[in-house]
Structure 1
Amino acid sequence: MKKIVLLFTLVYSSFGFAQNDLIKAFLEKWENSKTYLIEIAKAMPEDNYSFKPTEREMSFGEQLLHIKGNMDWLSTSYFTDEEFEKKKDEITYSKEEIIAMLSNSFDVVSEIIKNTKSDALNEKVDFFAGEKTKLQILNLLQDHVTHHRGQLIVYLNLNEIVPPKYVGW
């Protein structure tokens, strides 16, 4: 019986350690993602923040604000007890203001995730695409940034601006 308890304790401890590693790995990648996206945002001249390749797409600035809004929504709704209020922005922001807001949102997400207990990543939440774990929401946070960041790199290239060197892990 003692061997079974010891084995269970080792397995459980290893799992808990793996969960903590997930949060640490996310936070490291998140910081690199922030650095890379901010460099991309800085690379585009402010006059081109209204650039969009086609009418149906968001402008460069709108893409950045969309990324920020998604980070705010996912982190608040699924990792805090706060009620998320989506604001309809009719305000036009400068390049500097957008970069500051984006940087702040990355930092807020980092703080929220730092304060998330590792076992909470297994919790299931209601999501518009069906029930998901918080770990899946965490992955979505990063995936969404990556998706739109890729579009922004195309925007830079279409304006003959060499994108910043990739910052990965």
Structure 2
Amino acid sequence: MKIKNLLIAFIVLISNNLIAQNDAISAFLLKWENSKNYLIEIADAMPEESYNFKPIERQMSFKEQLLHIRTNMVWLSETYFMNENFTKTGKINPTTKKEIIEELTITFNKVSKIINQTSLDDLTTKVDFFAGSKSKLQILNLLQDHVTHHRGQLIVYLNLNNITPPKYSGW
């Protein structure tokens, strides 16, 4: 009887994990954690003395790219999932590589907490966005897409500095 109960408990556990990976929030949070780890590895790979590197004048520097990613995460998560008015007055200005990486980590974790407290039903809620009415699910996808977009640029920056980027980890 004990083996049967253990087997049932195991099947329920596996089923719950599979179901959790198939809902939008759980899938996002799993990907978000990997995205955080990958971006931190990229930020760590660039030597601090190269944080002001930019391929051409019109582009953001490596440091500016990282801070832009962070600001966008704060804006999207707080404005559209917490209904707070985003102002740049609370903008931080870390100066060292270590401070930037710490702020990125804190912000990724804060976004995780905010999204974890969001109900699946709330993802269908429409919000006013500068590009027109969007669902919160679309904003959730934008959170990840924006990080991915700028992370790709950072990988190019590493390559231009003859630094091998960290190995990609999708999941």
Are the structure 2 counterparts of residues 91 and 109 from structure 1 closer, same or farther at C-alpha, using a change threshold of 3 Å?
closer
Supply the distance in 1 between the matched residues of 2:90 and 2:116 (Cα, whole angstroms).
29
Give the TM-score taking structure 2 as reference length: 0.85
1:120 pairs with 108, 119, 122, which one? Answer: 122
Q: For residues 1-169 of structure 1, what are the structure 2 equivalents within 5 Å?
A: 21-87=23-89, 91=93, 93-169=95-171
Cα deviation, 1:34-69, whole Å, max 9, x if unaligned, reads 000000000000000000000000000000000000
Runs of 4+ with >3 A deviation = 17-20, 87-92
Measure the CA separation in 2 of the matches of 1:57 and 1:161: 19
Percent identity, aligned pairs only? 67
Please report how far the alpha carbon of residue 148 of structure 1 lies from its aligned counterpart in structure 2 after TM superposition: 0.1
Amino acid at match of 1:119: D
Structural RMSD (CA): 1.8
Secondary structure of 1:93's counterpart equals: coil
Q: Report the number of matched residues.
A: 153
Q: Is the 8 A contact 2:21 2:27 kept in 1?
A: no
Rounded to whole Å, the distance in 1 between the matches of 2:100 and 2:34 is: 18
Give, in angstroms, the shift of residue 93 of structure 1: 1.0
CA change 1:49–1:23 in 2 (3 A) is same
Extract unaligned runs of 5+ from structure 1: 1-16
Q: In 1, distance between residues paired with 2:90 and 2:57?
A: 20
Q: Which position in structure 2 is the counterpart of 1:9?
A: none
CA deviation after TM superposition for structure 1 residue 88, in Å = 8.0
